[in-house]
Amino acid sequence: MKILVTGGAGFIGSAVVRHLIQNTSHSVVNVDKLTYAGNLESLAGVSSDPRYAFEQVDICDAAELARVFNTHQPHAVMHLAAESHVDRSIDGPADFIQTNIVGTYTLLEAAREYWRNLPPQQQGEFRFHHISTDEVYGDLEGPEALFLETTPYAPSSPYSASKASSDHLVRAWRRTFGLPTLVTNCSNNYGPYHFPEKLIPLMILNALEGKPLPVYGKGDQVRDWLYVEDHARALCLVLQEGVVGETYNIGGHNEKRNIDVVHAICALLEELHPQKPAGVAKYQDLITFVADRPGHDLRYAIDAGKIQRELGWTPQETFETGLRKTVQWYLDNQEWCRHVQDGSYQRQRLGSGT
């Protein structure tokens, strides 16, 4: 297949692109606007492959999307392009409304027009896979509850509300227009190439620099952690074998409190990088509790039984093995980290193609 991946220079998107190029025979068209979160350096290992093509395009640009579809003639779409940072959505919701809602609508319309004009057999084979988040479900009550594919939506932040809206649009285009769509909702991802504003890479890099490790409230928020390469495998499996019109929850079976995650990172750094910055006796001494985020959900946890039963997917990494790989990756890839931290990675935003 030739697969059009939106947001393929982002954290999860780049993992999907790397997986497709390195582990399958499919071709990839990476469509990415290259906002602050898009980093072509995350694709350095696959960008010279003849099965990879890059288009610097905003998914809100209907004319450019039509050109991309007509030029590349994809067999499927994997839609990952999104603004995804909750704190940024609180500070400035407008970008989230524009990209996550208007952008998804624009992409759906471009895909529908392209799909509508395909020959009947290719119409039947076409897929539009929308990748979403467990945050659309809101907050869980009690320690035993889990998000199911049928859990009612109750988003808490501008980010999760915009993703919930995009999910509804995708399902409506399936119901009203017959567009062959699939939806997946995932738990918190972590792993290599994660932008340092997110919890795990922020803690790793701040600790290495002797900076405070800021933890919201008491750090008792619970998240289900999913290693990004496990997620990439699951997404490609759903695209190829999932049932059109269905939703699949993807989780890591790894519920952890935020404070426990931070302590685990500190323990790994004590082992893997004992040479601490000046004045730091123990990495955990850098932990600093800060005022909680407005509307902060306390607990997310996914029941991933459906994708296991129906498609045979289970995560290969435990939280312990995945976190060790992640910490080691950041220690081994300081140049990538420096380019993100000093902004030099954004020099790629020149519209120069690949």
Single-letter code of the amino acid located at 341: Q
- Strand pairing class (181-186; 247-250): parallel
Show the tokens assigned to 254: 């790894």
Mean pLDDT in residue range 127-132 = 98
- Residue 297: predicted pLDDT: 82
Phi, psi for 13 (deg, rounded to 5): -60, -40
Domain 2-348 has CATH 3.40.50.720: yes
Cβ burial, residue 85 (10 Å; 0-12/13-18/19+): middle
Residue 24 in contact with residue 206, Cβ under 8 Å?
no
Q: Encode pLDDT of 154-181 as tens digits.
A: 999 999 999 999 999 999 999 999 999 9
Task: Give this prediction's pTM.
Answer: 0.94
Exposed, middle or buried, 152 (CB in 10 Å: 0-12/13-18/19+)? exposed
Q: Is the pLDDT of residue 18 over 50?
A: yes
From CA 95, how far away is CA 244, in angstroms rounded? 30
Taking only the tens place, the pLDDT of each residue in 258-300 is 999 999 999 999 999 999 999 999 999 999 999 988 888 889 9
Residue 350's contacts (CB-CB under 8 Å, 6 or more residues apart) are none
Q: Would you state the pLDDT for residue 347?
A: 80
Determine the pLDDT at residue 79: 98
- Residue ranges of domains in the chain: 2-348
Q: How confident is the model at residue 238 (pLDDT cuts 50, 70, 90)?
A: very high
Q: Annotated active-site positions, please?
A: 134-135, 159
